[in-house]
Amino acid sequence: MRRRRSGGPLWLSAAALLLLLGGCRIGMSDDVHPPPRAGAWSIDYMGPPGHVQMADLAAVSATEAWAVTEERGAADSWKPGLLRLRDGRWSAVQIPAQLRGQPWLRLAAAGPRSVWLYPDAWGGVPPQKTGDMPSGSWERSSALRWDGARWHQVPLDFPPVDLDVVSQDDAWALDASGAARQWDGTRWRTVPLPARGIDIEARAADDVWVAGDKTFDDRPKQPAAVHWDGSGWQLTRLRRYQAPYDAKVVDNGSVLWRISANSAGEAWALGVHSVVDGRDEGREEPREVDERILLHWSGTRWQPVPEPPRSFRDKTYGQAVPDGTGGMLLGAWAYRTAEGTYFRIDAPPKTEGWQETGLPPLQRRWLTMEEADVIPGTHTILAAADLVGHNSMTQPAVIRLTLDAPQRSLLE
């Protein structure tokens, strides 16, 4: 429901994007023994093939969810759409007039009576694709808050890049400069951050996390994770990321662009350390070396999580979705248990996944996951996804994952 940078380099290479963005084809057809299975995606909703793609999703209760779509028009224009799940059925919902002209919309929610729909200042391009904050002019707009019966207009005097909700009168946002804003039910106030914010997760009035980066005079830009305890921000301690000692550095920097909290004492952060290495004089272009960052907060400190087993090394880290048991979905295809063991997630029927479907090439399709959210009170995950065919024809979809139980029996 996010989601997921100013004056910086375009850090992420095309190769890094394949590693970082959610759910493309895995390419495991040569695996004789794929990892154990933790579950499989099923399709909850699928739109007609064409030029509509999924953009965001928020699960607000065991029986209700919202999703945003984007439809490509002429001259790369975009038109948003809104879907709602009620009584087991997804149906289109009209977007209120105040936001109908906005090409990019996103969702945030704290329950069925506090659903926010807001314009996305990223312009539909998430931060992990650019490394930069959005720039350019901002036309003053509004967000909309659903109270369970109707929409209420919330004025915005800043371009929001991310927003999360604690309650009906408590919401947090990040603006295009990386500053934090808090809504108290009446107005927005600026709450200065000790770092530049890119992603925000608000769990309670005294439990808000922000991921981003921090600039220093004497070393490259470093990742930052900042916590709000109800009275002030604490910049937590992270390791320093440096270029290899033998690199001829053209560019070097690190960033956290996603943070997910499972409880007051547990959180996960995703990011990348990118180095542009010009030491190979025989190359026409400098070599880009990207190191994925996956960190775990145990309540007192951040610790790096070891690389997944070899069979998972080419998996994507675009999402980190705690499931409420200590486990976590990483991207579309990998599940990590609380004990640190990895299991595979199988693709929906007739979709390429760990192993090829065997369908003729013209009938094959691949899944890209855009956003995922745990259904409150359950361990089931809903995700906004696109099913892409051989000719790039896209079908917007909502997919559902109910993990196989008991997980522990697979570890013995």
Q: Each residue's pLDDT tens digit in the chain (412 positions)?
A: 544 322 233 333 333 333 344 455 454 444 557 788 999 999 999 999 988 999 999 999 999 999 999 998 887 788 999 999 999 999 999 999 999 888 889 999 999 999 999 998 876 555 554 455 655 556 678 999 999 999 999 999 899 999 999 998 999 999 988 899 999 999 999 999 999 999 999 999 999 999 999 987 667 789 999 999 999 999 999 988 877 655 565 567 889 999 998 877 889 999 988 877 666 655 555 556 678 899 999 999 999 988 788 777 655 567 889 888 888 999 899 999 988 899 999 999 999 988 889 999 889 999 999 999 999 999 999 999 999 998 888 999 999 999 885 444 333 3
* Distance (Å, whole) CA 411 – CA 152: 49
The closest alpha carbon to 124, from 71, 55, 67, belongs to 55
The dihedrals phi and psi of 223, each to the nearest 5 degrees, come to -70, 155
Q: What is the pTM of this model?
A: 0.86
User: Cβ distance 308 to 328 under 8 Å?
Assistant: no
The dihedrals phi and psi of 116, each to the nearest 5 degrees, come to -110, 140
The closest alpha carbon to 396, from 143, 13, 46, belongs to 46
User: Cβ distance 336 to 345 under 8 Å?
Assistant: no
The gap from C-alpha 197 to its chain's centroid, in whole angstroms, comes to: 15
Q: In 10 A of CB 211, how many CB atoms?
A: 29
* Distance (Å, whole) CA 344 – CA 34: 8
User: Cβ distance 178 to 140 under 8 Å?
Assistant: no
* Distance (Å, whole) CA 92 – CA 84: 6
- State the burial class of residue 115 (Cβ atoms within 10 Å of its Cβ: 0-12, 13-18, 19+): buried
Largest CA distance in the chain: 64
Q: Find the distance separating the first CA and the last CA of the chain, reported in whole Å.
A: 35
User: Cβ distance 175 to 162 under 8 Å?
Assistant: no
